[in-house]
A = this chain, B = another copy of it.
């Protein structure tokens, strides 16, 4: 291993999570605690990811976060404190000028370490940059650090940010179930949860059943084909047992033929309503059930709070997010490059894990679906095995700093 001395830059990219700032804090801690053995001089933060880097909008993070209080605040501030972007990098052969420009910036600031915290698309950025710099004489260490509430990255047991989103979803669904239980009249409540291609977040809606003995009566994931007729049957069956049916559904569920339910057509080919842009999956189901069963139906879209409800973050998730950031610094200084940091589960009960890394080119642009054994045979709920697997990821509560009843955020 050769020592590489220079500056480092860290960026955040893609959708916000409740843990992405914890990972940023981890990288800063890794540098401040000298886990790099003297290799990193200054740690820059790029504003708005790679876009800000291109515009040389860089800030000195070591200076800004010299105090422990500020780092603690950063860890429990939701969303990306540095700002984010959703920019796909061009093909290297088609637009070499783009990469030359980036290389020029790296050289200008003597940047030898590049840390990029993000999801699937961001790992594509890391892979392309790795490929480009590999074939140039300017030595760099390029590391992706995963974050996504969707938990759909391959090569890692789970992703930082997922546990906090899962805890928010599990808790909120428990509260909704209690709310729906108060009336004695027949009703259906449909909770729409994020996840276009993978059902991890929606599966988390079940977690409360391990504690309070109740969960959504029905859970539909994108991994199982959806049938409106079967759904109506399920509802009628459960209505015979109790009046308050609660359903958790992924925004990305599809019919057998591959059409998204949210495309706005009922299973019987009837256009449920006019404006297709309005048709969230929950709304489509709400109107279909209203038509079919005639009872009170409500749909609830959990929406942005799923990814930014920091006040209910998972302590386990935040701890892992910080740790993976710190270990990325140590790994890079130790010679690791062109890799994404990963979480490897050692055991579920008791929960044990370690941090590792994997080839980033094997990760970008792939989707990790929910394991088949985590979905029941009917495709309308998750198994107890799934609940056991997910529970350690939502363990523990964080204690954000509150002032006059409001969580304090750091704004940089």
Mark A residues whose CB is within 8 Å of B. 12, 16, 48, 51, 77-80, 83-86, 167, 170-172, 174-176, 178-179, 181-184, 189, 207-208, 210-214, 272-275, 277-278, 283, 287, 298, 300-301, 303-305, 307-312, 314, 316, 391, 394-397, 402-409, 411
Contact = CB atoms under 8 A, between A and B. Distances in A.
Contact of A408 (B182, B212, B391, B408): B212
Given A48-B184, A85-B184, A184-B85, A304 B211 contact: no
Nearest to A84: B182
A395 B404 CA distance: 5
Looking at A86, A170, A298, A308, which has the most chain B CB atoms within 10 Å of its CB?
A308
Contacts of A83: 181-184
A306 to B, nearest CB: 10
Given A167-B405, A283-B278, A77 B178 contact: yes
A277 B283 CA distance: 10
B179 A308 contact: yes
Contact of A273 (B208, B278, B408): B278
Contacts of A397: 402, 405
Contacts of A174: 406-407, 409
Given A181-B79, A391-B405, A309 B172 contact: yes
B405 A183 contact: no
Contacts of A408: 211-212
Contacts of A170: 405-406
Nearest to A387: B404
Number of copies of this kind of chain in the complex:
2
A275 B207 CA distance: 35
Q: Which of A48, A207, A208, A391 has the most CB of B within 10 A?
A: A208
15 contacts: A12-B182, A48-B183, A48-B184, A78-B179, A174-B407, A175-B305, A178-B308, A178-B409, A207-B405, A210-B406, A212-B409, A273-B278, A300-B305, A316-B405, A391-B405
A406 B211 contact: yes
A173 B68 CA distance: 27
A134 B129 CA distance: 82
A130 to B, nearest CB: 25
Contact of A78 (B79, B175, B309): B175
Given A83-B181, A184-B48, A274-B274, A175 B211 contact: no
Contacts of A391: 404-405
Contacts of A405: 167, 170, 207, 314, 316, 391, 394-397
Contacts of A175: 78-79, 304-305, 308-311, 407
Nearest to A314: B405
A16 B212 contact: no
Contacts of A406: 170-171, 174, 207-208, 210-212, 394
A212 B411 contact: yes
Contact of A304 (B179, B407, B411): B179
B311 A300 contact: no
Given A48-B183, A78-B175, A183-B48, A213 B411 contact: yes
Given A48-B182, A181-B411, A212-B411, 7 more contacts: A12-B182, A213-B411, A275-B278, A300-B305, A314-B405, A394-B406, A396-B405
A208 B274 CA distance: 38
A403 B211 contact: yes
A80 B16 contact: no
Nearest to A315: B405
A175 B313 CA distance: 12
A203 B310 CA distance: 22
